[in-house]
A and B are shown apart, each in its own frame.
Chain A
Amino acid sequence: DAKTTQPTSMDCAEGRAANLPCNHSTISGNEYVYWYRQIHSQGPQYIIHGLKNNETNEMASLIITEDRKSSTLILPHATLRDTAVYYCIASLGGTSYGKLTFGQGTILTVHP
């Protein structure tokens, strides 16, 4: 799996959009970008994933640059409950036997 780089921590005001960047400059053509989050030692929660195109679901949007070397997770209206560690993972999915390599992630703090 390609190495990913994320900022150690970020702050966001409640109700504002949280934009979390991720660098994956060595990503290969068939590696997906996954985002998970972990709230205070609970099980990691899947947020969104994509390959080339931008993706949106009920939780977030994922913007992947055209060269696929970086991406941004967008939480459109952050709430206090979005305070968590966010992990960006580049993975081959099934061909890597499903292993997800979690780095240190970004600690997002949403404040009132």
Chain B
Amino acid sequence: EAQVTQNPRYLITVTGKKLTVTCSQNMNHEYMSWYRQDPGLGLRQIYYSMNVEVTDKGDVPEGYKVSRKEKRNFPLILESPSPNQTSLYFCASKRQGLALSNQPQHFGDGTRLSIL
């Protein structure tokens, strides 16, 4: 089954303790992206990646890092989490290429992070 898988689904942790949220897709998609969703603010893009070893900042990248060493994986790293990063996070992927620029994004089921 084609899917985007995020882990963990839920995490409660404390300020300053480094954490990584993994994202994996099995559709051989070039493009992957991370969003966060907060009440009243909608989904906001954190980082995106057009392909392996190609990443760039979205609208709210501060406090986050990403890497794209393999096509299928796009982990989100919080080096020193803070309470304002408490949020619902979504990973997404899509096929990419000039002729495929209008392809829809496929989203994971989300990761709910609580930073105390």
A residues contacting B by CB (< 8 A) are 32, 34, 41-46, 49, 51, 92-95, 97-104
A32 to B108, CA, bound (A): 23
B residues contacting A by CB (< 8 A) are 4, 31, 33, 42-43, 45, 48, 50, 56, 58-59, 88, 90, 92, 94, 96-98, 100-110, 112
What 6 pairs between A and B have smallest CB-CB spacing?
A: A94-B101, A43-B107, A46-B104, A93-B102, A93-B101, A102-B43
A95 touching B90 in the complex, CB below 8 Å, given contacts A42-B109, A43-B108, A102-B42 = no
Contact residues in A for B103 (Cβ distance below 8 Å)? 93-94
A-B interface contact total, Cβ < 8 Å = 61
Contact residues in A for B98 (Cβ distance below 8 Å)? 94
10 residue pairs bridging A and B, Cβ less than 8 Å apart: A41-B112, A43-B92, A43-B110, A49-B102, A94-B103, A97-B48, A99-B45, A100-B45, A101-B42, A104-B42
> Nearest chain A CB to B91's CB is how many angstroms away?
8
Contact residues in B for A32 (Cβ distance below 8 Å)? 102
- Max chain B CB contacts within 10 Å: which of A41, A95, A100? A100
Do the beta carbons of A34 and B50 come within 8 Å of each other? no
Do the beta carbons of A44 and B107 come within 8 Å of each other? yes
